[in-house]
Amino acid sequence: MPKMVPDKPAPRVMRARECAMLIALSAVWGGSFFFTGIAVRELPPLTIVVVRVGIAALALWAVLAALGTRMPPTPGLWAAFLGMGLLNNVVPFTLIVWGQTHIASGLAAILNAATPLFTVLVAHLLTPDERLTRGKAIGVVVGLAGVVTMLGADLLSGLGTALAAQLACLAAALSYAFAGVFGRRFRRMGVPPLATAAGEVTASTLMLLPLALLVDRPWTLPMPGWEGWGAMVGIGLLSTALAYVLYFRILAAAGATNLLLVTFLIPVSAILLGALVLGERLEPRHFGGMAIIGLGLACIDGRLPRWLFARRRATGDAL
């Protein structure tokens, strides 16, 4: 059993501005599941993903040029971008898009909320300074119980298409967790956050383009309608390029712990968009699982234990 260490001090409290940016980030990231739900009706998965990262790369390079930010001449930088792009874009984007060809966008977003749960475990195993604490351990157990609740009877019915799609989304969350640990090196390399984002989506585009040309042969596909093109522009500009800008702003202002809360807000945005626009329906167990995952996140970042301790102390003082 891994050794527990004392919980760290309370995270920084977010101001109204950071809270607003967090909600905006959850909306644009939740929108990625909505846009994908539209795009998969007209385009195959690899084509969707390569267009997404390609549009984001062009937009982020334009932002870097406007800000006058240059890519540092660090040895091995582009090899690191290839690794980050593989873990943070190529693998998870492809798995999620494929998964959404079989399951609702809201469910895919809920399963994505397992990312911080996997991150806690991966960081404990692979880093010396992000060890497993009691609160994190409890949060992981509670959060994984939420994931099992969402999968429900599908776990007992064999590896059908729907279960395979759900497992693909969970595998994407695990890939994001490894990316979070892998990405720590860019700070040590002195690479600005936006340059890291531009480099990784560029590397992702270079990796995906030959594969998409070989597998999907996009020149043979029917031309998408205006909805398909709109979805691709939305997922590239809003859900990828703009999302990265908001992500790094919140990270600098409020810290990583507060930023983790966005993964609980993303399913809410995706569910609302999927239900209002795509007519998707989710079962009660999906909402129950999401609530349990939220409880797990509250344990991981220490909010729930601190709230319970404050309530207990207040009750004791009153007596």
Domain boundaries, the chain: 16-318
pLDDT recorded at residue 262: 76
Confidence class for position 86, pLDDT limits 50, 70, 90: very high
Q: Which residues contact 147 (CB under 8 A, 6 or more apart)?
A: 111, 114, 117, 170, 289, 293
- Cβ(181)–Cβ(256) below 8 Å: no
Fill in the amino acid letter for 173. A
| pLDDT over 60 (residue 219) | yes
Q: Which residues contact 273 (CB under 8 A, 6 or more apart)?
A: 30, 31, 33, 34, 105
* Closest residue by Cα to residue 18 from 277, 259, 238: 259
| pLDDT over 60 (residue 10) | no
- Cβ(48)–Cβ(39) below 8 Å: yes
Please list the alpha-helical segments (H only) found in 86-127.
91-99, 105-112, 115-126
Q: Which residues contact 52 (CB under 8 A, 6 or more apart)?
A: 93, 232, 235, 236, 239, 240
Confidence class for position 193, pLDDT limits 50, 70, 90: confident
- Percent of the residues in the chain that have a pLDDT greater than 90, as a whole number: 25
> Tell me: the pLDDT tens digits for 144-171?
788 777 767 655 554 466 888 889 999 9
Average pLDDT, stretch 299-307? Answer: 67
Tokens representing 177?
């967790």
Distance CA 247, CA 262 (A): 10
| pLDDT over 50 (residue 221) | yes
Average pLDDT, stretch 116-124? Answer: 82
Distance CA 28, CA 238 (A): 6
pTM of this prediction? 0.78
Distance CA 225, CA 284 (A): 34
* Closest residue by Cα to residue 150 from 135, 139, 138, 165: 165
* Closest residue by Cα to residue 53 from 17, 93, 3: 93
